[in-house]
Amino acid sequence: MFRILILIFLATGAAYSAPVARSLVRIEATSQEPNYKAPWNPGEVSGGVGAGFIISGNRIMTNAHVVSNARFLTVSKEGDPRPFPARVLHIAHDCDLALLTVEDPEFFKGTTALEFGGIPLIESTVSVYGYPIGGSRLSVTQGIVSRIDFQAYSHSGMDSHLTIQIDAAINPGNSGGPVMQNGKVVGVAFQGYSGDVAQNVGYMIPTPVARRFLKDVEDGHYDRYVDLALSYQSLFNPAARRALGLADDDRGVLVGSVFGGGSSEGIVFPGDVLLAIDGLPIASDATIPMDNDSVPLAEVVERKFKGDSVTLDILRAGKPLQVTVPLNGPWPFTLHANAYDEDPKFVMFGGLIFQPVDENWMAAHEPADLRLRYTFDFFTEDKLYKERPEIVVLSGVLADPVNAFASDFRHGIVDEINGRKIRRLADVAEEFAKPAEYYVIKMAGVGRPIVLERQAVEAARERILSRYGVTKEQNL
Amino acid sequence: MIARTALVVLAFCLPAFAGVTPQPNPTKPAIEATNRSVIRVNATSQAYDFFRPWTKKSPGTRRGLGTLIDGDRILVTAELIANHTFIELEKAATAEKSSATVERVDYESNLAILKPADPAFLAGMKPLALDKGVRVGDRATVLQLEQNGEIAQTIGTVTSILVSGYPLDNLGLLIFRLSAPMQQRDGSFTLPVVRNGKLLGVLMRYDARSQTADIISTPVISHFLAEAAKPAYGGFARAGIAFSSTRDPQLRRFVGLNEPGGVYVTEVLKDGPAEMAGLRVGDVILAVDGRAIDQDGNYDDPDWGRIAFSHITNTIKHPGETANFRVFRDGTILEVPVKLEPRDRSKIISESHIVDRAPRYVILGGVVFMELSRAYLQEWGGDWPKDAPQRLVFLDAFQNELPAGKDKIVFISQILPTPMTLGYENLENLVVTKLNGQEIRTLDDVVSAAQSPVDGFQKIELEEDPGLIILDAQAIEANRDALIRKYSLPALQRL
């Protein structure tokens, strides 16, 4: 057993050591998770190990999830024991990529910047480099390209981008490591399944996504992905095709909904048929021909940037027309995405904690309240953001005589305070800052208000702060 | 001195003696009497399959123990005979049998009256009268049947008398809660609870872990029987309000309430008796029919102690009668007479239960249309609020907040794939707004709108993605028989 291990080590060692080892970086991150239940408290501190690789401009590319919520980062080169403090230059949570740098110029001496390749062919062999569990030194695994498709990026939980599936083992610690073919980077290892779900399924971020990230940050700022912000369905049904005035040519998809505040609002409408995007014909299964392959039509928008535009050939009420959609920034309502590097927002008043709901809040509180679950789940689909751009809830109650009867209202959505409609957390802070004899807090769908007397709240203030160790009364 | 000590000891010992000395068992004569008053009821039932509304699920049998009451009638829980296809009475000792029919069933109070097909079948049996005036702490006996037909009795103690939600409709009615260590026995779906040879109530649910039994109480049974004696059965009324406690002194001061008790009205059911009478959210109910309401909504009942005032509106009063509410509103006290009526079930958007009747459906070219009901959602099992399609769960939960004019929620439950539905196979649980441009409020609207296709197409508009489904109207007509044959459908609609 021991002998076999050594043999493998020697055999692979000869192949990789020369080019890649001089570019490979081991990243140790100390991170601090925010605390969504006691939002004034700093959260738990934990450590982790990931991989990265050096690219042009003395930069290190890795996954966003390796360095998210980081408080302290060190990087070390393969074959060099010294850890160097590093800092994050840019981080893109929507595509799970980050760029780091090291201030000490000593670090980059003797290193080689890796270059990016293209999309590898299906069935071609790739090698994955990183520091996965099983030891502390560099590990290499090898596999073939199994599939090229759109996949959800679990770091944000909301975004999907082009992804390449490979059958090389990808394990914790591989994250951020380069996937190589013919001496070039063809992907960044980032996620996989645990062995009890699927075997030999690992994913890497392909180079179009990595290149897009590098281009986006050229102006010194990451703008995030742009989106058409609409939903569409395939159009296979012959009767539907005839009714919509389409030929029997397998082209076109039907627009289902257009999200308010998004790029397409007021330009594309539900019931429109999308026929082509930037001149590329859209097949009835919502794919377009690109790079000698057929890819989801979203790929055209995926490669664009804030300020770019896209042209759509549309059939509306049987009449063809062409529209131009300016991609004016990302979809504004990202509450279904995991958030990082943010301190939870809150307002504490009379022991009542008010917070805006987002994915992080939901994960921390797991509310059973049906109204809250509905408002969160259907926020985008039912355009609930029109009524309240932020869902502000009574997140918790620090029990005190002043709020002895408020605990029944926990996880209720704050609808009004003293007659003012609450649209954002800032509204809550403003209303509580105004002098009033009573603060009457009305929750959505609840007939009875919470009533707080100003005097009682003031009398309780110091008591609550000291008893519960509340160091901060709000973070807006 | 000595004498005094002896006296003390004697007095101290007395209760102990009472427990040890064999005493005549107070329930013994009761059992002999009730032996001839209970009868086994075997109900075969078959519920509809809401996932395939044109079929029924496989039949099952429930067994319980009915009680003979005057008029040759057998009293059981409604749950025992829900969706029945056949009901059989069986004499415990002799296994003689007779089929039975349902004379009256009420799913809100969970009670039903059965009549034997053969009137002579009950000859020799003795009807039980209703017990009146049980108190917390009293003992009562739950009757069960052994395999051999002998009566098994479990003695329990009444631990509380309270108003609580009844199983099928969550209507707040009086319950006797009994603590009794019961055993799992065959046929425990309905069990009589007796005291002193009289019927105290009908056991409707039992929690084995806490050993507590919930018993349909005598006032609820009396109300049910009184209604059943009327030419037109009125059932149980309700005021149609929800309220919350006014214990919070800050709330009391804000409202300006100086009275000691009262509850804060949080919800008034649309078109319900309270709304018709002019009650509003924010009113504080101080008294009902002259009985003062405390901060939690309880009053002092001469028979049952401190219980929720809904006992007055739902049980003491009968439909059509008036309850007088004393209400505090904006600093003044008003007297509001509320004419109590039962819930108009035809106005319910999503029904909490559909029993003894078939769910409605319409199939159009393989697209299955249904009306939303909680019965449909409950097909997802015990954790249905999490497991069932969320939009439908929310529509059911918040049905009272839907804009006016919604009669029912019509939705596509599934699609039976045919060449006509190509590309739509995976669509399910989608709420329908229009068909061929016509507003859809009920399934009847689906049938009538389907008569007028637009340019030869059936255009189904949906509340959510994909937004629009288009089918070939002619192809649907041409393939009617093929669809029926292929999926063995008894009919393409049931309304």
Calculate the average pLDDT of chain B: 90
Would the pLDDT of B77 be above 60? yes
Instruction: Report the CATH number at residue A362.
Output: 3.20.190.20
Own/partner contacts of A406-410, CB < 8 Å, gap of 24 or more, are: A406/A351, A406/A352, A406/A450, A408/B244, A409/A443, A409/A446, A409/A450
Residues A123 and A195 in one domain: yes
**DSSP per-residue codes, A105-146:** GGGGTT-----B--PPPTT-EEEEEE--TT-SS-EEEEEEEE
User: ipTM score here?
Assistant: 0.87
Residues A244 and A139 in one domain: no
Q: Is A158 within the bounds of a domain? A: yes
Q: Which of B281, B464, B470 shows the shortest C-beta gap to A237?
A: B470
Q: Is A82 within the bounds of a domain? A: yes
pLDDT of residue A332: 63
**CA atoms A327, A329, A335, A336: torsion sign:** positive
Read off the pLDDT of residues A302-351 as tens digits, 9 standing for 90 and up: 999 989 999 999 999 989 999 999 997 666 667 888 999 889 999 999 99
Distance from CA of A114 to the nearest CA of B (A): 44
**What is the average pLDDT across B136-154?**
87
Residue ranges and CATH numbers for the domains of chain B are 28-122 (2.40.10.10), 139-229 (2.40.10.10), 241-339 (2.30.42.10), 348-494 (3.20.190.20)
Q: Residue A410 belongs to what domain range?
A: 346-475
Determine, for residues A374 and B468 on separate chains, whether the beta-carbon distance falls below 8 Å: no
pLDDT of residue B334: 96
* Other C-beta atoms lying within 10 Å of the C-beta of residue B402: 13
Q: Which of B253, B266, B467 shows the shortest C-beta gap to A271?
A: B467
Q: How many helices (H) and strands (E) does chain A have?
A: 9, 28
List the single residue in A with minimal CA-CA distance to B397: A370
Q: Is A339 within the bounds of a domain? A: no
Q: How many helices (H) and strands (E) does chain B have?
A: 13, 28
Q: Among A192, A221, A250, give the residue marking a domain's end.
A: A221
Tell me the catalytic residues of A.
65, 96, 175
B464 Cβ under 8 Å from any chain A Cβ: yes
Cβ-in-10-Å burial (0-12, 13-18, 19+) of A278 comes to middle
**Would strands A70-77 and A84-92 be described as parallel, antiparallel, or unpaired?**
antiparallel
The length of chain B in residues reads 495
List the single residue in A with minimal CA-CA distance to B395: A374
**What is the average pLDDT across B95-114?**
95
**What is the average pLDDT across B433-447?**
97
Instruction: Report the Cα–Cα distance between both ends of chain A, in Å, rounded.
Output: 59
Let me know: does B61 contact B42? Beta carbons within 8 Å: yes
- In the stretch 388-407 of chain B, residues with CB closer than 8 A to chain A read 390-391, 393-394, 397-398, 401
Residues A60 and A197 in one domain: yes
Determine, for residues B251 and A234 on separate chains, whether the beta-carbon distance falls below 8 Å: no
In angstroms, the Cα distances linking B302 to B139, B159, B312 are 20, 18, 12
Helix/strand/coil (H, E, C) string of A280-310? EECECCCEEEECCEEEECHHHHHCCCCCCEE
Determine, for residues A448 and B397 on separate chains, whether the beta-carbon distance falls below 8 Å: no
List the single residue in B with minimal CA-CA distance to A235: B423
CA–CA distance, A335 with A365 (Å, rounded to integer):
15
**DSSP per-residue codes, B239-275:** --EEEE----HHHHHHHT--SS--EEEEEE-TTSHHH
pLDDT of residue B21: 38
Residues A304 and A162 in one domain: no
pLDDT of residue B35: 73
Determine, for residues A447 and B267 on separate chains, whether the beta-carbon distance falls below 8 Å: yes
* Per-residue buried b or exposed e for A91-100, using 16+ beta carbons within 10 Å of the residue's own CB: bbbbbbbbbb
Q: Among A326, A359, A383, give the residue marking a domain's end.
A: A326
| DSSP label at residue B315 | I
In angstroms, the Cα distances linking A47 to A44, A338, B162 are 10, 19, 55
Q: Which of A240, A257, A449 shows the shortest C-beta gap to B465?
A: A257
Residues A311 and A403 in one domain: no
Our count of domains for chain A comes to: 3
Q: What's the pTM value of the predicted model, to 2 decimals?
A: 0.88
Residues A250 and A212 in one domain: no
Residues A13 and A62 in one domain: yes
**CA atoms A35, A41, A43, A44: torsion sign:** negative
Amino acid (one-letter) located at A56: S
pLDDT of residue B14: 30
Two tokens, residue A439: 């603060």
Residues A261 and A313 in one domain: yes
Read off the pLDDT of residues A145-163 as tens digits, 9 standing for 90 and up: 999 988 999 999 888 999 9
Read off the pLDDT of residues A232-269 as tens digits, 9 standing for 90 and up: 999 999 999 999 999 888 899 999 999 888 899 999 99
List the single residue in A with minimal CA-CA distance to B418: A237
Would the pLDDT of B331 be above 50? yes
Read off the pLDDT of residues B455-465 as tens digits, 9 standing for 90 and up: 999 999 999 88
Q: Which of B266, B420, B467 shows the shortest C-beta gap to A239?
A: B420
CA–CA distance, A476 with A459 (Å, rounded to integer):
24
Let me know: does B113 contact B104? Beta carbons within 8 Å: yes
pLDDT of residue B1: 35
pLDDT of residue B405: 79
List the single residue in A with minimal CA-CA distance to B251: A451
Q: Across the A/B interface, how many CB contacts are shorter than 8 Å?
A: 107
Residues A4 and A142 in one domain: yes
The contacts of residue B161 (CB under 8 Å, 6+ apart) are B134, B136, B174, B175, B176, B177, B217, B304, B305, B307
Distance from CA of A346 to the nearest CA of B (A): 24
Read off the pLDDT of residues B251-297 as tens digits, 9 standing for 90 and up: 999 999 998 899 999 999 988 999 999 999 999 999 999 999 999 99
Would the pLDDT of B13 be above 80? no
Determine, for residues A448 and B266 on separate chains, whether the beta-carbon distance falls below 8 Å: yes
**What is the average pLDDT across B311-318?**
96
Q: Among A166, A197, A221, give the residue marking a domain's end.
A: A221
Distance from CA of A371 to the nearest CA of B (A): 8
Residues A204 and A238 in one domain: no
Q: Is A338 within the bounds of a domain? A: no
pLDDT of residue B30: 53
CA–CA distance, B229 with A145 (Å, rounded to integer):
79
pLDDT of residue A190: 93
Q: Which of A236, A371, A445 shows the shortest C-beta gap to B422?
A: A236
List the single residue in B with minimal CA-CA distance to A257: B465
Determine, for residues A446 and B391 on separate chains, whether the beta-carbon distance falls below 8 Å: no
Residues A134 and A26 in one domain: yes
Q: Is A188 within the bounds of a domain? A: yes
Q: Is A398 within the bounds of a domain? A: yes
Determine, for residues B394 and A453 on separate chains, whether the beta-carbon distance falls below 8 Å: no
Q: Is A47 within the bounds of a domain? A: yes
Pick from B262, B197, B484, B231: nearest CA to B366: B484
Instruction: Report the CATH number at residue A29.
Output: 2.40.10.120
- Mapped onto helix, strand or coil, the DSSP state of residue B179 is strand
Q: Which of A256, A371, A451 shows the shortest C-beta gap to B466?
A: A256
Q: Is A340 within the bounds of a domain? A: no
pLDDT of residue B169: 84
- In the stretch 256-315 of chain B, residues with CB closer than 8 A to chain A read 264-267, 281-282
Residues A401 and A307 in one domain: no
Q: Name chain B contacts of A383, Cβ cutoff 8 Å.
A: none
Helix residue ranges, H only, A319-398: 359-365, 370-377
Q: Name chain A contacts of B455, Cβ cutoff 8 Å.
A: 243
Let me know: does B435 contact B412? Beta carbons within 8 Å: no
Determine, for residues B250 and A451 on separate chains, whether the beta-carbon distance falls below 8 Å: yes
Read off the pLDDT of residues B18-63 as tens digits, 9 standing for 90 and up: 333 334 444 455 555 567 899 999 999 999 999 999 999 999 999 9
Would the pLDDT of B10 be above 90? no
* Other C-beta atoms lying within 10 Å of the C-beta of residue A338: 17
Pick out chain A residues at pLDDT < 70: 1-18, 329-333
Instruction: Report the CATH number at residue A302.
Output: 2.30.42.10
Cβ-in-10-Å burial (0-12, 13-18, 19+) of A238 comes to middle
The contacts of residue B276 (CB under 8 Å, 6+ apart) are B338, B339
Mutation target to probe the A interface, by most A beta carbons within 10 A, among B470, B472, B476 is B470
Determine, for residues A240 and B393 on separate chains, whether the beta-carbon distance falls below 8 Å: no
